[in-house]
């Protein structure tokens, strides 16, 4: 473990006179600046950048407040910004990708928030989410300036290489870059945004378009560090702790990221996938609470639901049955013990309905009417389903959370007799995670399974989906360095998956589909 | 829902924005400042406010200053406003009682403006069917594309319901029930409420507005007009008590001549579906009652729409669907329907569609403006898009026009007529009238 982020850490700022720019800025800023000038015939004032992330382990548990282990990657979203001093401020957005058409909208003169229409799938909605949370932050930071006056007008050029729908958090990276940019534009050079504030405000941003994500994406994007994975905790407070990978004797630790090229459009599939899972895990927590005679209490700020979650259940269960009134504080050993117990309870009380709960089943378990259940649980965002698979979802959440703790424990092991010991142990956790995502959470897809199978047969020790799933990217633990297997894995994937599934794939596309990314720096600013 | 995917649709046209002249935009009060103005703010590349008219020019000047409408001019007379060639679209956002006396001369004067392409009128079109028909005819003769703000047609919940119905998710419709509350028409009246909405004949009442918007939405969702109707209209609360902003009674009673109850029954042309509809005024005495419920029952499933306000066109509704899959229907040429993994073909699907953060008051009007812009700039690049169309009818695309409004006015006229005559009326030709 290295330094903690419990103290305020400023988002790094660089400029053209800096001696050594981080690689992403050095490589990408000249290009976006040139494109900005070409589009607006003016020079931008600064560039805000936020990276995408890979989640090594800990999928679909962040919105239950359990810890996760992501790392920021070299793919990122950049926003070049010029601040305008207009009487009638407006914001113009241009995206380097022509799939995302130009946008322009005015800012309300009375300082009220820009409207976001969650029923429309539009890329500028994500900009507006970042704008909204930044605006809300500014109103608290400097109420005399922002309570009833408009924000500054902006010209924005957006460019990113986080593939959309790939599960690497393109939307979160974009929102973090935007929020950082808006605060910077309005507060000027004298104000330095902290990582904690940027992380805290962006965690709720996507809720404004009806996406109930849990905050891992934003934490990883903002707090990423080179050569470190992040241990992201959501309770007692949001915290991201960088963990350096163990130093091995003869190998480097590398992660291959392979994109299935199956695009999972969150907006379209949310009712049967993401939104439904949120409902299922919330419902599972409440069914468990009703079964064991405890009451969930949750008043999470910014949460779209106040029904409590699986972590809340764990806390109140231990308060009632073990007289431990203090909630779990993230301690590894006690966490492992508690999560193991939770898995026993899930088997005990939910396993009798493995085929799934109907609405009537749930209402009966919760001692309420189906109308009450529908009103209280199903109207947070659009959902569509036949049955609610509470057993499978709860089991995944608790077992995945347990694996995260085991992974962190492994990361902090001082040394290994043989390098292979680390690869086998960490890899096993990743493989168990993939099995759980596939069988219990049902967020894999045939392409993901195929890629994992090929990678494991050719030198990967651990292979799993990353991100929400249902397509997108996979991540593979592969020994690197002179004795490594990276090239073998890449070649096998190219020949056995990509050229079979996508016969017309070009070398350039192949290059983008399989990458070896080192952990990258988190959000940062580049001033001109 | 392809019409909801807009990332690749440019909202910055390679053309000048539509120049909008407002009748009835007041920075201090009114409907337009709450809805039309914020909508246009969001679409500033496509719409630009260039003109304001108000009987008192000081009102327009104050609005221009307050909103910093740097491109807008205040006009002293309706004639000078309507004649100005700086206007491509005129928006009428004034009291319905004044629609006829403003719109008719405005259309006449506008013959001096060769640039005028659009006339956008707030619902209701006028105070009577005769007036509505006169306005429609005058607009048609003037040759402008018209828009009526039946903005409930743009609600994401209505569109989703329409989508589910049209794709066969509920099979054939076999019955429909509607129940709603019109909040202003009960035993109490807020003292700040304008007096005209409680006087019959001003074009704003439980039947024309609350029922009007809702029944239009029903026809739109089901893609069907009515064939027969029967209605009863009541004014059982002829006096109301005035209350202040905190709900305290002021000890003063005022007369009310608009209805507080409507019972409506009809059958839809498509499928001879029975529809029963009940609207009443006032706040519900039972706290858990929904102010608006629309139940649509089909052979394969059911739809329910619920709202916390009796005005579907400005409410953030909840859509509930339960039924079997559309793929249960036989497909053409013996095609095998693709099975969704994880879905049991025989089991019921449930869908709950609600967007907690959707602001329906602004959002539905905003989407209406978006449709006008899509039409004007042909943002979806439809080949041979006509420069004008007569009515939206039941299309997903486009926007409601004065013909759609006229058809609705005819239905409302039939409601009053049925009440007066005490009989069931055949309205199957309501959309076929020639003028």
| Domain, as residue range, for A58 | 11-245+518-525
Chain A residues within 8 A of B38 when measuring between CB atoms: 108, 115
Q: Which two tokens stand for residue B370?
A: 């978006």
Determine the pLDDT at residue A304.
46
Q: Which two tokens stand for residue B37?
A: 């103005």
Residue B314 has pLDDT above 70, yes or no: yes
Q: Which two tokens stand for residue B355?
A: 């967007």
Per-residue confidence band for B329, with pLDDT thresholds at 50, 70 and 90: very low
Chain A residues within 8 A of B9 when measuring between CB atoms: 101
Asked if residue A165 belongs to a known ligand binding site, the reply is yes
In this structure, the answer to whether residues A292 and A163 fall within a common structural domain is no
- For residue A82, what are the contacts with CB-CB under 8 A and spacing of at least 6? A36, A40, A42, A43, A44, A45, A154, A155
Q: Is B355 on the interface with A (CB under 8 A)?
A: yes
Per-residue confidence band for B327, with pLDDT thresholds at 50, 70 and 90: low
DSSP lists the bridge partners of residue B297 as: B175, B302
Determine the pLDDT at residue A3.
45
Q: Is B349 on the interface with A (CB under 8 A)?
A: yes
Query: Which residue from B125, B137, B222 is spatially nearest to B172, judged by alpha carbons?
Result: B222
Determine the pLDDT at residue A151.
95
The count of domains in chain A is: 2
Under a CB-based contact definition with an 8 Å cutoff, are residues A134 and A183 in contact?
A: yes
Q: Is A174 on the interface with B (CB under 8 A)?
A: no
Chain B residues within 8 A of A119 when measuring between CB atoms: 4, 156, 355, 358, 363
Using the 3D structure, point to which of A415, A441, A467 is the last residue of a domain: A441
In this structure, the answer to whether residues A227 and A340 fall within a common structural domain is no
Specify the CATH number for the domain of residue A294.
1.20.1440.340
Q: Test A117 with B320 for CB contact under 8 angstroms.
A: no
The answer to whether residue A498 is domain-embedded is no
Q: Is B326 on the interface with A (CB under 8 A)?
A: no
B373-385 confidence digits (pLDDT tens): 999 999 888 899 9
- B33 to chain A, minimum CA–CA distance in Å? 12
The answer to whether residue A72 is domain-embedded is yes
Q: Establish whether domains B1-148+357-400 and B152-333+340-355 are of one fold.
A: no
Q: Test A118 with B44 for CB contact under 8 angstroms.
A: no
Residue of chain A nearest B4, judged by CA positions? A120
Pick the CATH number of B152-333+340-355 from 3.30.70.141, 3.30.360.10, 3.40.50.1860, 3.30.420.60: 3.30.360.10
B217-276 confidence digits (pLDDT tens): 999 999 999 999 999 999 999 999 999 988 899 999 999 999 999 999 999 999 999 999
Strand blocks (E) in A381-438: 383-385
Determine the pLDDT at residue A230.
94
Domain range annotation of chain B? 1-148+357-400, 152-333+340-355
B384-418 confidence digits (pLDDT tens): 998 899 999 999 999 999 999 999 999 999 999 99
Q: Residues of A numbered 300-319 whose beta carbons fall under 8 angstroms of chain B's beta carbons: which are they?
A: 304
Q: Is B80 on the interface with A (CB under 8 A)?
A: no
- For residue A322, what are the contacts with CB-CB under 8 A and spacing of at least 6? none
Q: Test A121 with B342 for CB contact under 8 angstroms.
A: no
Residue of chain B nearest A446, judged by CA positions? B341
Q: Is B162 on the interface with A (CB under 8 A)?
A: no
In this structure, the answer to whether residues A140 and A188 fall within a common structural domain is yes
DSSP letters along B273-290, please? -EEEEEEEES--SSTT--
Residue of chain B nearest A371, judged by CA positions? B320
Chain B residues within 8 A of A207 when measuring between CB atoms: 357
In this structure, the answer to whether residues A57 and A121 fall within a common structural domain is yes
The answer to whether residue A477 is domain-embedded is no
Q: Test A87 with B351 for CB contact under 8 angstroms.
A: no
Query: Which residue from A66, A6, A58, A78 is spatially nearest to A528, judged by alpha carbons?
Result: A78
Chain A residues within 8 A of B68 when measuring between CB atoms: 87-88, 109
Determine the pLDDT at residue A182.
97
Under a CB-based contact definition with an 8 Å cutoff, are residues B38 and B369 in contact?
A: no
Under a CB-based contact definition with an 8 Å cutoff, are residues A384 and A347 in contact?
A: no
Q: Test A119 with B358 for CB contact under 8 angstroms.
A: yes
Specify the CATH number for the domain of residue A200.
3.30.230.10
Helix intervals (H) in A308-358: 310-321, 332-350
Mutate to test the interface with B, among A120, A128, A307, A384 (most CBs of B within 10 A): A120
Using the 3D structure, point to which of A409, A441, A473 is the last residue of a domain: A441
Which CATH number describes the domain made up of B1-148+357-400?
Answer: 3.40.50.720
Q: What are phi and psi of B192, to 5 degrees?
A: -80, -10
Q: Test A384 with B45 for CB contact under 8 angstroms.
A: no
- For residue A165, what are the contacts with CB-CB under 8 A and spacing of at least 6? A263, A264, A265, A266, A471, A472
Chain A residues within 8 A of B320 when measuring between CB atoms: 374
The answer to whether residue A455 is domain-embedded is no
DSSP letters along A299-310, please? --TT-S--S--H
Tens digit of pLDDT at every position of chain A (528 positions): 344 445 689 999 998 887 788 888 888 999 999 999 999 999 999 999 999 999 999 999 998 999 999 999 988 999 999 999 988 899 999 999 988 999 999 898 889 999 888 888 889 999 999 999 999 999 999 999 999 899 999 999 999 988 777 778 888 999 999 999 999 999 998 999 999 999 999 998 888 887 777 788 899 999 999 889 999 999 888 889 999 888 888 888 889 999 999 987 777 788 888 889 999 999 999 999 999 999 987 555 444 457 899 999 999 999 999 999 899 998 999 999 999 999 999 999 999 999 999 999 999 999 999 989 998 899 888 999 999 999 999 999 999 999 999 999 998 876 788 888 999 999 999 999 999 999 999 999 999 999 999 999 999 999 999 988 898 999 999 998 888 889 999 999 999 999 999 999 999 889 889 988 888 899 999 998
B166-191 confidence digits (pLDDT tens): 999 999 999 999 999 887 888 999 99
The answer to whether residue A482 is domain-embedded is no
Which burial class, exposed, middle or buried, applies to B244 when counting CB atoms under 10 A from its CB (0-12, 13-18, 19+)?
exposed
Determine the pLDDT at residue B434.
60
Higher per-residue pLDDT: B340 or A127: A127
Determine the pLDDT at residue A207.
84
In this structure, the answer to whether residues A212 and A317 fall within a common structural domain is no
Determine the pLDDT at residue B346.
62
DSSP lists the bridge partners of residue A69 as: A57
In this structure, the answer to whether residues A150 and A294 fall within a common structural domain is no
Q: Test A102 with B11 for CB contact under 8 angstroms.
A: yes
Q: Is B301 on the interface with A (CB under 8 A)?
A: no
- B394 to chain A, minimum CA–CA distance in Å? 20
Helix (H, G, I), strand (E, B) or coil at A148: coil
Residue of chain A nearest B323, judged by CA positions? A386
Higher per-residue pLDDT: A289 or B282: A289
Q: Test B6 with A120 for CB contact under 8 angstroms.
A: yes
Chain B residues within 8 A of A208 when measuring between CB atoms: 357
In this structure, the answer to whether residues A298 and A437 fall within a common structural domain is yes
In this structure, the answer to whether residues A286 and A223 fall within a common structural domain is no
Determine the pLDDT at residue A119.
85
Asked if residue A169 belongs to a known ligand binding site, the reply is yes
Under a CB-based contact definition with an 8 Å cutoff, are residues A335 and A314 in contact?
A: no
Q: Which two tokens stand for residue B153?
A: 């047609």
Q: Are strands B274-281 and B261-268 parallel, antiparallel or unpaired?
A: antiparallel
Which burial class, exposed, middle or buried, applies to A344 when counting CB atoms under 10 A from its CB (0-12, 13-18, 19+)?
exposed
Using the 3D structure, point to which of A414, A441, A468 is the last residue of a domain: A441
Determine the pLDDT at residue B343.
54
Q: Test B363 with A119 for CB contact under 8 angstroms.
A: yes
Q: Rg (Cα) of chain A, in Å, rounded?
A: 23
- A127 to chain B, minimum CA–CA distance in Å? 12
Give the residue numbers of A marked as catalytic: 217
Determine the pLDDT at residue B203.
86
- Helix A170-187 to helix A195-202 angle (10° resolution) is 120
Q: What is the average per-residue pLDDT within B24-35?
A: 92
Q: Test B350 with A384 for CB contact under 8 angstroms.
A: yes
Per-residue DSSP letter, B331: P
Q: Are strands A524-527 and A13-15 parallel, antiparallel or unpaired?
A: parallel
Q: Residues of A numbered 1-30 whose beta carbons fall under 8 angstroms of chain B's beta carbons: which are they?
A: none
Q: Are strands B274-281 and B173-182 parallel, antiparallel or unpaired?
A: parallel
B123-163 confidence digits (pLDDT tens): 989 999 999 999 999 999 999 999 999 999 999 999 999 99
Q: Test A101 with B349 for CB contact under 8 angstroms.
A: no
């Amino acid at each position: 473990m290295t330094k903690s982020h419990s103290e305020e850490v400023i988002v790094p700022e660089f400029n053209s006179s800096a001696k050594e720019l981080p690689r992403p800025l050095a490589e990408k800023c000249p290009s976006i600046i040139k494109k900005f000038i070409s589009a607006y015939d003016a020079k931008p004032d600064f560039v805000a950048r936020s990276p995408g992330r890979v989640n090594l382990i800990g999928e679909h548990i962040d919105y239950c407040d359990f810890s996760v282990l992501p790392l920021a990657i070299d793919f990122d979203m950049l926003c070049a910004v010029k601040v305008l001093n207009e009487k009638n401020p407006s914001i113009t957005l241009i995206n380097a990708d022509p799939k995302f058409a130009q946008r322009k909208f005015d800012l309300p003169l009375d300082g009220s928030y820009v409207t976001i229409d969650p029923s429309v799938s539009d890329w500028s909605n994500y900009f507006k989410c970042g704008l909204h949370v930044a605006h809300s932050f500014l109103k608290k930071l400097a109420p005399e300036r922002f309570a009833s006056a408009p924000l500054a007008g902006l010209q924005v050029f957006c460019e990113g290489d986080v593939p959309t729908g790939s599960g690497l958090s393109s939307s979160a990276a974009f929102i973090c870059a935007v929020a950082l940019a808006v605060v910077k534009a309005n507060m000027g050079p004298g104000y330095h945004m902290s990582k904690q504030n940027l992380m805290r405000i962006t965690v709720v941003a996507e809720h404004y378009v009806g996406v109930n994500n849990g905050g891992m994406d934003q934490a990883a994007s903002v707090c990423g560090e080179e050569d470190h994975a992040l241990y992201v905790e959501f309770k007692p407070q949001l915290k991201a702790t960088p963990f350096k990978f163990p130093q091995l004797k003869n190998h480097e630790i590398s992660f291959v990221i392979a994109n299935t090229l199956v695009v999972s459009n969150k907006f379209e599939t949310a009712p049967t996938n993401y939104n439904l899972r949120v409902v299922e895990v919330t419902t599972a927590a409440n069914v468990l609470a009703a079964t064991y005679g405890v009451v969930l209490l949750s008043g999470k700020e910014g949460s779209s639901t106040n029904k409590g979650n699986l972590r809340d259940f764990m806390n109140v269960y231990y308060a009632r049955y073990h007289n431990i009134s203090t909630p779990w504080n993230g301690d590894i050993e006690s966490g492992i013990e508690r999560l193991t117990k939770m898995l026993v309870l899930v088997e005990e009380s939910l396993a009798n309905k493995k085929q799934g709960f109907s609405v009537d089943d749930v209402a009966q378990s919760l001692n309420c009417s189906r109308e009450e259940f529908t009103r209280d649980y199903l109207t947070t965002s659009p959902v569509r389903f036949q049955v609610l698979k509470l057993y499978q979802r709860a089991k995944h959440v608790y077992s995945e959370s347990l694996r995260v703790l085991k992974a962190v424990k492994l990361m902090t092991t001082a040394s290994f007799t043989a390098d292979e010991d680390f690869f086998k142990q960490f890899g096993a956790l990743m493989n168990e995670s993939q099995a759980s995502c596939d069988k219990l959470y049902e967020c894999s897809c045939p392409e993901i399974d195929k890629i994992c199978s090929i990678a494991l047969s050719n030198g990967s020790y651990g292979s799993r989906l990353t991100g929400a799933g249902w397509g997108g990217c996979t991540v593979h633990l592969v020994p690197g360095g002179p004795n490594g297997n990276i090239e073998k894995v890449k070649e096998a994937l190219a020949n056995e998956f990509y050229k079979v599934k996508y016969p017309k794939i070009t070398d350039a596309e192949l290059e983008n589909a399989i990458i070896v990314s080192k952990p990258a720096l988190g959000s940062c600013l580049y001033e001109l | 829902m392809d019409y909801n995917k807009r990332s690749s649709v440019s909202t910055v046209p390679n053309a000048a924005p539509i120049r909008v002249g407002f009748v009835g935009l007041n920075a201090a009060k009114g409907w337009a400042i709450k809805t039309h103005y914020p909508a246009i703010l969001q679409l500033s590349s496509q719409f630009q406010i260039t003109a304001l008219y108000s009987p008192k020019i000081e009102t327009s000047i104050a609005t221009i200053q307050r909103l910093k409408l740097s491109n807008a001019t205040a006009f002293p007379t309706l004639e000078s406003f309507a004649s100005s060639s700086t206007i491509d679209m005129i928006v009428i956002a004034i009291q319905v009682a004044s629609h006829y006396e403003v719109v008719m001369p405005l259309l006449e004067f506008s013959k001096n403006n060769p640039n005028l392409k659009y006339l956008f009128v707030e619902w209701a079109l006028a105070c009577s069917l005769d007036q509505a028909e006169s306005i429609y005819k005058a607009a048609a003769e003037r040759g402008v594309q018209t828009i009526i703000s039946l903005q409930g047609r743009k609600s994401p919940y209505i569109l989703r319901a329409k989508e589910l119905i049209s794709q066969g998710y509920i099979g054939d419709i076999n019955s429909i029930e509607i129940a709603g509350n019109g909040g202003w028409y009960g035993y109490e009246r807020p003292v700040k409420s304008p007096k005209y909405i409680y006087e019959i004949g001003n074009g704003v009442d439980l039947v024309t507005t609350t029922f009007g918007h809702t029944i239009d939405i029903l026809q739109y969702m089901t893609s069907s007009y009515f064939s027969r109707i029967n209605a009863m209209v009541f004014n059982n609360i002829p006096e109301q008590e005035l209350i202040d902003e905190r709900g305290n009674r002021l000890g003063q009673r005022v007369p009310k001549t608009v209805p507080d109850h409507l019972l409506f029954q009809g059958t839809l042309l498509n499928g001879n579906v029975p529809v029963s509809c009940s609207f009443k005024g006032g706040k519900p005495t039972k706290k858990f009652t929904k102010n608006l419920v629309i139940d649509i029952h089909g052979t394969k499933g059911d739809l329910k729409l619920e709202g916390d306000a009796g005005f579907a066109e400005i409410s953030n509704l909840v859509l509930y669907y339960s039924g079997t899959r559309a793929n249960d229907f036989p497909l053409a040429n013996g095609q095998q329907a693709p099975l969704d993994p994880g879905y049991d073909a025989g089991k019921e699907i449930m869908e709950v569609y609600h967007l907690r953060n959707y602001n329906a008051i602004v959002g539905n009007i905003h989407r209406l403006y978006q449709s006008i812009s899509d039409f004007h700039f042909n943002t979806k690049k439809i080949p041979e898009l006509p420069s004008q169309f007569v009515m939206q009818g039941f299309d997903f695309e486009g926007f409601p026009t004065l013909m759609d409004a006229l058809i609705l006015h005819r239905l409302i006229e039939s409601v009053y007529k049925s009440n007066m005559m005490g009989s069931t009326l055949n309205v199957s030709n309501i959309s076929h009238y020639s003028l």
